[in-house]
């Protein structure tokens, strides 16, 4: 029998760390892990923290889109529209849109909607899909959730039956996947993205992972593809996506397409293409390939993370499986209605000729243009540092440079019981207040070290942050390479 730890505050608790669901205990989620906790502690002690650990644009100064907030404010308190002075302060298309939603949302924002989301808003999303892909969307394929994380969790819940069901996940990956797969008692089957090849996704590597999993008795059932990539920022080419679809058909893999960064594409030569469009374009060749694609209001120029507005769209999913998804969502009754409305606004924004269009255009282009400049600035800056290399940030909100960490630092970290990139990120935080996430939280090839930083700090602060980062990096190298301080 195990002895009782004298430091355990509640050794006899019914819910004890040793007696709760061990899948939860084993799950890891570094985005809010050791570094985040250290940053919060630092902030509480009154020191400055520059949060670049989470893609949370408004928290670091990105402004909401005016039209969206105006409509939402009127819907929140519709009595404002009875006051002529207040009414006159809003553009007419704002008032019109608010009235439209009020007429289409039974019971208003305070009422549960259909568990899949309000039907009118799902129509707006379906129309958006039709315009985006050239193939008609359908309300019956759409399920709205409190954030894309919830949608992903529900789809994994349906897919995973136990340890021998595998989900192919990229390395590096956004750790929501590994954590949720662990919590659902499934197995993550990692496939490496090729850093030397601009974080490319090769079919050979997928085959390797699938074969290795099967050899262990694990059946891969689905593949997670994050496009544009998180933390890697790469955008898949259409040809690559077609190969992937062919492979998924051949190997019977459901595609989980995490397309939440679809508006965050920065290189003028690139254009986001959805897996939905690729599959439908391929016709017979891709027939019946099952797709679950995720989108959100949290990213893009909208950045409304706090709304938790998102959806999953099904393609080629068995009707009875959609019924099961509907049922399981019904136990939660409804996603939050403000999040649903924000999604409706995002996919159906002001159009040319609308009074709010010029400002909407200015705001969204301003945000996306600035993000594109920041994406370029940050990867260039990393590439100028000794021992640091970064692929271009083609999309999403992150830069994921590789950092050569001196052996002395690796040893120092090992002595403290953590990975070398954790040491690097902790010292960076300590020295500069910049809060990043170490690469070990996302996964990386053995012997390589990375960190993830968002590209979100305000553009005017960028030069300062880059300088502060660069100074720290040089100092870190000197410290652990044993050179004298200059």
Q: How far apart are CB 445 and a second copy at their closest, in Å?
A: 24
In total, the chain counts a number of residues equal to 486
CB 176 within 8 A of CB 30: no
Output b/e per residue, 328-347; b: 16+ Cβ within 10 A: ebeeeebbbbbbbbbbbbbb
Q: How far apart are CB 164 and a second copy at their closest, in Å?
A: 13
Measured CA distances, 46 to 40, 58, 405, 427 (Å):
10, 21, 30, 18
CB 139 within 8 A of CB 126: yes
Q: Judged by CB, which is closer to a second copy: 147, or 401?
A: 147
Q: How far apart are CB 123 and a second copy at their closest, in Å?
A: 14
Q: How far apart are CB 62 and a second copy at their closest, in Å?
A: 8
What's the rounded Cα separation, in Å, for the pair 484 and 486?
A: 6
Task: Report which of 260, 244, 159 is spatially closest to residue 201, judged by C-alpha positions.
Answer: 244
Task: Report which of 81, 140, 54, 110 is spatially closest to residue 338, judged by C-alpha positions.
Answer: 110
Q: Judged by CB, which is closer to a second copy: 338, or 421?
A: 338
| Sequence-distant contacts of 105-108: CB under 8 A, at least 24 apart | 105/75, 105/337, 105/341, 108/75, 108/78, 108/337
Q: How far apart are CB 72 and a second copy at their closest, in Å?
A: 5
Q: Are strands 165-171 and 219-226 parallel, antiparallel or unpaired?
A: parallel
Q: Judged by CB, which is closer to a second copy: 249, or 450?
A: 249
Q: Judged by CB, which is closer to a second copy: 241, or 325?
A: 325
Q: Judged by CB, which is closer to a second copy: 115, or 391?
A: 115
Q: Judged by CB, which is closer to a second copy: 319, or 447?
A: 319
Residue 18: alpha-carbon gap to chain centroid = 31
Total Cβ atoms within 10 A of residue 79: 8
Q: How far apart are CB 287 and a second copy at their closest, in Å?
A: 11
Q: How far apart are CB 1 and a second copy at their closest, in Å?
A: 18
Q: Any alpha helices (H) in 199-237, and if so which ranges?
A: 203-215
Q: Judged by CB, which is closer to a second copy: 65, or 235?
A: 65
């Amino acid at each position: 029998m195990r002895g009782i730890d004298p430091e355990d505050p509640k050794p006899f608790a019914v819910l004890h760390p040793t007696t709760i669901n061990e899948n939860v205990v084993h799950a890891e989620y570094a985005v809010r892990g050791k570094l985040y906790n250290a940053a919060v502690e630092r902030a509480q002690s009154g020191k400055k923290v520059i949060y670049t650990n989470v893609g949370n644009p408004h928290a670091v100064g990105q402004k909401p889109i005016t039209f969206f907030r105006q409509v939402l404010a009127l819907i929140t308190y519709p009595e404002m529209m009875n006051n002529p002075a207040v009414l006159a302060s809003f553009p007419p298309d704002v008032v019109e849109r608010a009235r439209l939603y009020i007429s289409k949302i039974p019971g208003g924002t305070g009422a549960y909607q259909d568990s899949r989301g309000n039907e009118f808003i799902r129509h707006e999303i379906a129309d958006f899909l039709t315009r985006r892909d050239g193939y008609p969307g359908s309300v019956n394929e759409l399920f709205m959730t409190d954030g894309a994380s919830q949608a992903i969790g529900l789809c994994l819940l349906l897919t995973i039956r136990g340890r021998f069901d595998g989900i192919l996940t990229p390395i590096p990956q956004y750790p929501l996947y590994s954590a949720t797969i662990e919590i659902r008692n499934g197995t993550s089957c990692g496939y490496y993205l090729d850093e030397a090849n601009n974080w490319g996704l090769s079919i050979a590597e997928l085959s390797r992972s699938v074969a290795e999993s099967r050899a262990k008795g694990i059946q891969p059932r689905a593949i997670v593809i994050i496009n544009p990539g998180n933390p890697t920022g790469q955008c898949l080419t259409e040809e690559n996506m077609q190969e992937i679809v062919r492979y998924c058909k051949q190997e019977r893999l459901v595609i989980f397409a995490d397309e939440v960064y679809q508006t965050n594409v920065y290189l003028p030569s690139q254009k986001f293409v959805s897996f939905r469009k690729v599959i439908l374009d391929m016709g017979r060749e891709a027939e019946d390939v099952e797709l679950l694609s995720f989108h959100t209001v949290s990213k893009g120029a909208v950045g409304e993370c706090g709304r938790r507005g998102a959806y999953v769209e099904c393609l080629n999913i068995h009707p009875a499986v959609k019924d099961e998804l509907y049922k399981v969502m019904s136990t939660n009754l409804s996603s939050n209605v403000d999040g649903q409305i924000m999604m409706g606004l995002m996919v159906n924004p002001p159009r040319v000729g609308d009074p709010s269009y010029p400002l909407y255009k200015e705001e969204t282009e301003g945000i996306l243009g600035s993000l594109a400049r920041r994406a370029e600035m940050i990867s260039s800056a990393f590439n100028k540092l000794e021992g640091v290399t970064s692929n271009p940030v083609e999309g999403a909100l992150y830069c994921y440079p590789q950092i050569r960490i001196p052996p002395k630092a690796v040893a120092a970290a090992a002595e403290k019981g953590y990975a070398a990139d954790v040491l690097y990120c902790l010292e960076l935080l300590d020295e500069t207040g910049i809060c990043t996430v170490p690469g070990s939280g996302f996964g990386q090839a053995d012997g390589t070290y990375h960190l993830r930083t968002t590209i979100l700090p305000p553009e005017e602060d960028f030069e300062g942050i880059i300088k502060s980062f660069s100074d720290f990096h040089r100092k870190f190298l000197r410290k652990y390479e044993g050179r004298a301080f200059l």
